[in-house]
Amino acid sequence: MVRFIPYTFTKSDIIGDFDNEKQYENWIASQVKAKKVLKVRNGFYVQIDGAGYPLTTRFEIASKIKEDSFVAYHSALEYYGVANQVFNTVTVGSEKKFNTFTFDDIEYVLKLVKNKTQVVYIQTAGVRVTTLERAVVDCIDDINLGGGIEEILNALEQIRVLDENKVLEVLKSYNKVLLYQKVGYMLEQYKEKFLFSDEFFKECQSRLTNQIKYFLDDEYKDIEYNSTWRLMAPKNLKSRINGGY
């Protein structure tokens, strides 16, 4: 029978411990009936404690949905403890499609991605997650998935260290002009805090074109042209931390 049951497991993780499919089906049915495990979705289960609570985290579950799935965007900020809010949604990056589902009042939502730059596996937690640097870049790239501009600014206020070389590596992997503009503009607000070099910002600026873009899609009452980043952007970005204009 099963030699070891992980806190989160799929059928493929343990099927080799059984003589046949029927034996596995009988075993998993008995475990569910005895309230030792809960079904997350087809072929995916978690162990539970005596009170019926999963012996795992939302982040570990997200990392087991697909062979390549990982925690991303605002959910990655939550994992690193720098998010201002905790959402009841986990954004899951993967190249493989799955349908959105809810387990234990948490909704797991797919973000189809092909870029695997700086996706790390934290063995002690059983979690695949983007690095903090990629999480910041991803959230600036898709501000909605970052929880909104106020939430991203609050995260930057809480983050203590960012590696500029890692940020550049992520930017180069995406190779999008607007992303260089947005990241350069936003992190320039925190240049002194993170001790980013002039070379970092020069590298971002070297990727720009003459085309003027908007930093935010929403209606912002007090914007101006930022010639450094060729962006129509807020005059005082940090005022958005408190919802100001």
Spans in the chain with pLDDT lower than 50: 244-245
Angle between helices 164-174 and 132-141 (to 10 degrees): 50
- Contact status, residue 153 vs residue 242, Cβ threshold 8 Å: no
Q: Where are the alpha helices (DSSP H) in the chain?
A: 11-14, 21-33, 58-64, 74-79, 132-141, 149-158, 164-174, 177-188, 191-194, 198-205
Q: Where are the alpha helices (DSSP H) in 189-222?
A: 191-194, 198-205
Amino acid 245: pLDDT: 46
Task: Give the distance, in angstroms, between the CA of residue 136 and the centroid of all CA atoms in the same chain.
Answer: 9
For the record, the structure tokens of 50 come out as: 């005596």
Amino acid 219: pLDDT: 58
Round to whole Å and give the CA distance between 217 and 68: 31
Amino acid 33: pLDDT: 94
Amino acid 239: pLDDT: 78
Round to whole Å and give the CA distance between 52 and 79: 23
In angstroms, the Cα distances linking 106 to 52, 87, 242 are 16, 9, 27
pTM over 0.85: yes
For the record, the structure tokens of 113 come out as: 């991605």
